[in-house]
Amino acid sequence: MKINEVEAAVGVTKKNIRFYEEEGLIHPGREPGNGYRSYSAADVERLRRIKLLRKLDVPLAEIRQMLEGECTLADGMARQLERLNTRRADLNEAVGFCTLLQKEPVSLNELDVEQTLARLAAKEEQGVTFVDIEQVDRKAERIKGALVGAGLFTAIMLLTIGIMAWSFCVDPQDVPPLPLLVVLFGIPAACIIGTLKVLVDRLKEIGKGEEDAYRNY
């Protein structure tokens, strides 16, 4: 089967299918001649199992263990239940604090914030996990930094290409031979493509880091 057919059969996007392949969860074969991915019925069934466990928020590492028979389904579910119960307890604590604040007869500006934060800190010392604001609130900053850096480098490379193209147009007699043109324009173009790939990888890394921090995997 081709990836489009697998996407329709399983209900998982091509992007996710490739991601699971990169993570070593599936191992499709290759068609002779063109080298295109070829998914077997076993790959499709494996993807369905991955989809089921991911919908239950099971970490990829543990899905891999269950798929490879390194741990049983029962053991994997026991670990996931423990994680979910911990998260539910944390959410219940947050709900409790929100409920208490809702009943406060004062405005936010009049609230004794220091005392409330102290109570939160006491809960955290007992093992309760609230939102990690250092991770969550700086996500936009990290994304902005990655975009600015990639944008500046790409702009410099485009300017370099533009200047070279302009100089050749001004004096056509000085235009280098085709192989040299390919090198002159190919290097900056390759730098741009490489920069954009690094940017995409960095954004994925930031997103994955936020997800991992939130889920505490």
pLDDT digits (tens, 9 = 90+) for 155-205: 777 777 776 666 666 555 555 565 665 666 677 777 777 777 777 776 666
pLDDT, residue 170, reads: 57
pLDDT digits (tens, 9 = 90+) for 13-29: 998 999 999 889 999 99
How many other CB atoms sit within 10 Å of the CB of residue 123? Answer: 17
pLDDT digits (tens, 9 = 90+) for 96-128: 999 999 999 989 999 999 999 999 999 999 989
Lowest mean pLDDT among 4-8, 45-49, 62-66, 149-153: 149-153
Burial class (CB in 10 A: 0-12, 13-18, 19+), 17: buried
The fold adopted by the segment(s) 3-68 is Multidrug-efflux Transporter Regulator; Chain: A; Domain 2 (1.10.1660)
pLDDT, residue 217, reads: 35
